[in-house]
A and B are shown apart, each in its own frame.
Chain A
Amino acid sequence: MKILNKLYMFLIFAFLYMPIIVLIAFSFNDSKSRVIWSGFTFKWYQKLFENQEILSSFYNTIIVALVASLIATVLGTMAAVGITKSRKITRNIVLNITNIPMINPEIVTGVSLMIMFVFLYNNFGILKPGLVTLICAHTTFCLPYVILSVTPKLRQMDPNIYEAAQDLGCNPMKAFFKVVMPQIISGIITGFIMSFTMSIDDFVISYFTGGMTQTLPITVYSMTRKLISPEINALSSVLFIFVFILLIIINLRSDKDKENILKI
C-alpha cells in the first residue's frame, strides 16, 4: 500500500515535470530537432541573448512588472488600511469589487480593458494601447493580490497600536509609518512579489491590452505559432531557473509569509 502511494505521487510529479525536463534537455541539443539528440551545445543560449525581439520584449516585461507591482502595492496597501477601518457595508462593497477581476476569466478582463482603451483612444485620443495601458491593466489584476496579502496582517494587528501612536503625539501619517508599517511590512512584500510574478507571467490580458507593444509571453506565443526554434527551449530553462531561485528566496523568508503565498 505504501509503495502504491509513493508510486502515485511519483507519477503525478513525473507528469508535471517531464515536459519541462524535456524542454530544458533539448535546449542543449546541437540540432534543431526536438526528438533526436545530436550533441551538447550552448549556442541557443547565445542566440537567445542576441535576439533583439526577445530582449526588447524582456525589457518591456520587466518595466511593466516593476511599475505595475509598485503602483499596485501602494494603492493596495492604502486600500487594505481603508478596508479594515471601514464599516461593514463599505467593506463588503469594496471587497466585492475587488473580487471581480479575480472571478472574471482572464480573457473577459482582457477584452473589457481593450474595449475601454480603444474607446478612450478613439474618442479622446488618450491612453494609446502600449506600455502605459499594459501597466494599467497589470496594476488592475495585481491589486486584489496585494489586498489579500496585506489585509490579514492588518487584522492580526492590535488596532489600538495605531491609536496608541497618535495618543503619544504622532499625527495619523506618522503613526502609520512608525508603528503600522513595521507590523504589516511582510504582507506588503509578499503582495509585491506576487504582483511581480503574476505580471511577468501574464499572457492573456497583455495580449489584448498591449497594442503593438510586446511582452515576453506575447513574443513566446508568436514564436510557438511560427517556426520552431530551440531558442524557446533556452528561454524556458532561463525562466525556470529564475522561478526556482525566486521560490528559494521565498522559502528563506519566514514560514508564516510563505504560508500566506501558498494559500492564495
Chain B
Amino acid sequence: MKSSIIKLENIKVSFNNEVILENLNLNIKEGEFVTLLGPSGCGKTTTLRIIAGFLNPDEGNIFFKDKKINNVPAHKREVNTIFQKYALFPHLNVYENVAFGMRIQKKPESEIKAKVTEILKMVNLVSYIDRDVNSLSGGQQQRIAIARALANNPKVLLLDEPLGALDLKLRKDMQSELKSIHQKTGITFVLVTHDQEEALSMSDTVVVMDKGSIQQIGSPEDIYNEPKNAFVADFIGESNVISGIMIDDFKVSFCGKEFSCLDKGFEKMSIVDVVIRPEDIKVVTPEQGDISGVITSVVFKGVHNEIIIDVNGFKWMIQTTEMQKENDKIGLLIYPDAIHIMKPSPYSSKIGDYSAFSDEFYNEQHKN
C-alpha cells in the first residue's frame, strides 16, 4: 500500500457568494497518476490551484505527506505546475526557462547545466537549448513547460489542461509522452482535463467532478463500467439513462418490461436509474427484440454507425457495425451484463434521452 502524498480534507471555497468547492475530500497516493475530470466550472482547476498554493480554501485542510500545508506559500511547496498556456517566460530563452527554478535555489552553474541538458534530452528538445521560446511551436513550448517543472524535482506535478491548446494528432503524441515521463520519473501526476478520453486512457485514478463536488473516484474501468450516478454515466462516454424500478435483486423493470440484471442490494420496488451503453445493445428484428422502435437517424462514424431509435417516445442511441436504414423498425436485445443499475441522484431527471442530440450540440457542450 503506497502512502498518501496529498490529502484534501473538507475543502470549501466560495467566490462572490458563489460556492466553487463544497466539502471536498481527496486522497492522492504517491506515484499515482490522478486525473480531475469534469465540465468547465466544476471546480477542478480550483482544486489544482489549492494544491499548488495559489489559492487558500475558506475551510478545510491540505496535507502534504501528513503535514498540514495550509499556510505554506506556493514557492515553498514541493509541487510544480504546468500551466494551461504553458506560461513560459518570454524574455528568457529555452535554457534559462528550464534553469529558472535552479537559479532561484542558487545551484552551481555546472549542476544547472547538466540537469538542463538531461531534462531537455528527456523531452527531445536538446538541440533547441539556445532558442527564443517565442519561436517554438505549441508542442515544443509544451515540452519546455514540462522540462521547466521537472527541473525542480517536484514530488507532485500538477498539469492544468496541458494539452488543451494542441491539435488532435499532437495531443495523442503528448499523451503517450506524458505517460512515459510519469513511468520514468515515478512522480505523482495530477492532471486536470475536460476530455474524458484523455482521462480514461492516461490515469490510474479518475476523479469525476461537477458543480464543486466529487461525483465519483475510481479506476478508469470502474468509472466507465460502474458509473455511480446519471451525471457520470452521461459525461463518460455515451449512455442511455432510463428510469426503472428495481423489482428484486437481479430483476429490474423499464420500458414496460422486466429484465434480469447483475445488480443487487437495492431496496425492493424502488426507483432507480438504468444505464445501458450504446455499444452493448444488439440490433435484431422487431420480433426477436426485448423492445422495438423506429430508426430516426443513422450517422456513419467510421468504425460503427450511430443510430437513434424512437422507442415509445424515448430516443435511444445504439452503436452497431450493421447497416441500418432510417424509418426501419428494429428490435433491441439487451443482455443482463449490459444493464447497470444506479441509485437515483439529483441528475436523474436532468439527463434526458437523445432527442435533442446532434454532434454539434454535443461537441459544444463538452468543449466548454
Contact = CB atoms under 8 A, between A and B. Distances in A.
Direct contact of A and B (CB under 8 A): yes
Interface of A is mostly: helix
Given A167-B74, A174-B104, A175-B75, A158 B85 contact: yes
A169 B75 CA distance: 4
Contacts of B336: none
A163 interface: yes
B101 interface: yes
A160 B73 contact: no
B152 A168 contact: yes
Contacts of A163: 52, 54, 74, 81, 83, 87
A160 B101 contact: no
Contacts of B73: 166, 171-172
B74 A166 contact: yes
A177 B257 CA distance: 70
The size class of the interface chain A forms with chain B is 10 to 19
Contacts of A160: 83-85, 87
A39 interface: no
A175 B101 CA distance: 11
Nearest to B54: A163
B54 A168 contact: no
A171 to B, nearest CB: 5
Among A87, A166, A170, residue most surrounded by chain B Cβ atoms (within 10 Å): A166
Contact of B83 (A164, A169, A170, A175): A164
A168 B100 contact: yes
A174 B148 CA distance: 18
Given A158-B85, A160-B85, A175-B75, A167 B90 contact: no
Contacts of A108: none
B105 interface: yes
Contacts of A174: 104
Nearest to A168: B101
Contacts of B203: none
Nearest to A181: B91
Nearest to B145: A164
25 contacts: A160-B84, A160-B85, A161-B87, A161-B88, A161-B89, A161-B90, A163-B74, A163-B81, A164-B83, A164-B89, A164-B148, A166-B75, A167-B75, A167-B149, A168-B80, A168-B100, A168-B101, A168-B149, A168-B152, A169-B76, A171-B73, A172-B73, A174-B104, A175-B75, A182-B89
